[in-house]
Structure 1
Amino acid sequence: MLNILSCRNATNSIYKLQIVYQSLIKTAKYRNSVVCRSFNSSSKPAFEIKNTRECSKQFIDVINANTNVQNNVILYKNTTSTIFIKLVFFGWGFCNIVLALITFNPKYISTWFEDLTWTEYLKKNGITWMYFIYSIVAGPLGCVSLYIFNHRIIKYIVLHKGGKDVSIVTNNLFKNVDTITVPLEKVKTTMARDQMKNFLPLKIQGKMFFYLVDGQGKFFNEQLFDYTVGKAKAW
């Protein structure tokens, strides 16, 4: 009888121990799964979301850049003097005019209508004829080149109120400045501003040659310049 009771008590104790053991295992599995979920959801994904939000914010800032300025804004200013180009222009023109007057001979015209070959014509007129031709050809071409180059150097870039128009102020040999005002969409640069070395080529739609932004000048609002004049345009 005692043996039977002791066996029953032992069986009940083992059964209770099994129940407690199973409940502990279930609790441990649940805690491990909770820990893993919290670690996976709070560490790495949170970092990725943060980076995504930062990138999205930067992207939105670029798209929503405010170019609707309330007043005229100077984007660029170049104070470099072009007096040297002016001196070369007038000096070159003066020297070639003097050379043409010295080497001119009326027989250049009279012998032109004679029945002569090119060799006979050159022998009759001499080497002075070549100097004369050089002066009347190289003189004007050099002056035109210097004028165009000086006229293409930008002194100021001004964005007008509202951000729709822009003024390009350039040098001029016969007056202080020359101003060109065009819609913003008709102005673009051929490269990014941070890629500029010495000059930044600027193109105005409808003009034959490029305008030059000197690297020695100063950009007063670099971000606004990049979003307006320096912005890529499809034309």
Structure 2
Amino acid sequence: MAKPSAKTDVAAVPTLDQAATLLAEKGVDKGLWAHSALVAIVAVRLAAALQRAGVELDMNAVAAGGLLHDIAKGSPKHAHAGAHLLEEAGYDGIVEIVARHTEFIVAADAPVSEAEAVYLADKLVRGDNIVLLESRFEHATTRFAGDPKALAAVTRRRAQAIFSLERMARAIGASPEEVAQTPSGHPLENALGAMKDAMPDPALVNQQTAEADLDREEP
């Protein structure tokens, strides 16, 4: 069983409403809104399974971090750009979650953390669909087949993701891919499910499709 992670500072974690407001003010579109909400839902499912296995996690940080992981999508090195944005906003409790959601290097004996739950959730979601890990990377491999440098990055990230998937499977005692597909019944998942289908104030949100942005994957 993995060791408990250190709890994040509750005061530095935005509520779901605060997170939704940040996304709306950033002008996210429908597709990115749906993707962000689904990653948060899957992250909560994984974190709830980890909690049942005895791993101590801050569920509010998992939910908010999942919802805001792509807040800077479209910017160069968007994970670090998003982390910087949230640090400036005073939400230090989810900065690491957002900063590490594209690449996650961790020792085999390190505790499973909130950041790892969101990281793996993002790898199990493409667009607004829950997918198998290999399916996610098959798409990226095909997309960057003609770019050796990008393809090397995809290969490296695939290895990181498999390592994390296996670590979490041992911690949970079940397949994270199956957990991702199964509702947890956690109140935060229920709240995120309602938010997924209810965009914020349309006056603040770009209504165009997110397909172009979501396809601009970093390798």
TM-score calculated relative to the size of structure 1: 0.21
Higher strand share: 1
TM-score calculated relative to the size of structure 2: 0.22
Q: Which has the higher contact order (CA 8 A, sep 6+)?
A: 2
